[in-house]
């Protein structure tokens, strides 16, 4: 799963600004502040976007293996670099779309050109909000300008995979 996740794009297409650690059937995804591009990304916003791409790719890799990922985003306000905990206990068949999407992970390419200044199709933003609601419904605000995403205290703690373990996680 992590071998696939390292293929995720990073905003500036430089060193991936994340680290994975493992503990049994759970991985932790942490932003790596040492790899943050402080001049281009002083607030770490783009680093967190890159971590989101890595998380998406890790989830997709789990789906390609027939697992249902259990994700807890920003599980500990005291550890702002801990982006997510991902566990996998339950299984379900991977959909054809998920397989097709996962097949493209290693096919990604960098686009450094401009984009056409055309408006988004009507309803696209609403469709994207609806599609991401199950994952992001507990976060609030848009255009948040603080260094890290807002603490999401409204999310029930029972939705997070257990993080406790007696042995320290092993880096990949």
Strand, coil or helix: 112: coil
pTM, 2 dp: 0.71
pLDDT of 128 reads 85
What is the mean predicted confidence (pLDDT) over 124-146? 61
- Averaged pLDDT of the chain: 77
Q: Model confidence at 121, in pLDDT bands (50, 70, 90)?
A: very high
What is the mean predicted confidence (pLDDT) over 68-73? 93
User: On the CB side of 26, how many CA atoms lie within 13 Å of its CA?
Assistant: 17
Domain that holds residue 68: 2-107+135-171
> What CATH number did the domain enclosing 160 receive?
3.40.109
128 within domain boundaries: no
Strand, coil or helix: 91: strand
Q: Cα dist. 79→49, 84, 110, 156 in Å? A: 17, 11, 32, 18
126 within domain boundaries: no
Q: How many domains does the chain have?
A: 1
Sign of torsion over alpha carbons 154, 22, 52, 40: positive
Cα separation, 46 vs 148, in Å, equals: 11
């Amino acid at each position: 799963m992590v071998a696939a996740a390292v293929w995720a794009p990073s905003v500036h297409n430089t060193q991936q600004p994340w680290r994975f650690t493992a503990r049994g059937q759970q991985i932790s995804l942490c932003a790596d502040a040492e790899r943050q591009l402080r001049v281009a990304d002083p607030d770490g916003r783009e680093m967190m976007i890159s971590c989101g791409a890595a998380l998406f790719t890790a989830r997709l890799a789990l789906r390609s293996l027939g697992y249902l990922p259990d994700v807890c985003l920003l599980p500990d306000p005291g550890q702002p670099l801990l982006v997510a905990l991902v566990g996998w206990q339950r299984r379900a068949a991977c959909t054809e779309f998920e397989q097709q999407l996962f097949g493209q992970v290693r096919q990604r390419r960098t686009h450094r050109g401009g984009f056409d200044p055309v408006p988004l199709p009507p309803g696209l933003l609403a469709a994207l909000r609806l599609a991401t609601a199950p994952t992001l419904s507990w976060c609030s605000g848009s255009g948040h300008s603080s260094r890290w995403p807002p603490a999401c205290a409204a999310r029930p703690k029972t939705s997070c995979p257990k993080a406790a373990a007696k042995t320290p996680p092993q880096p990949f």
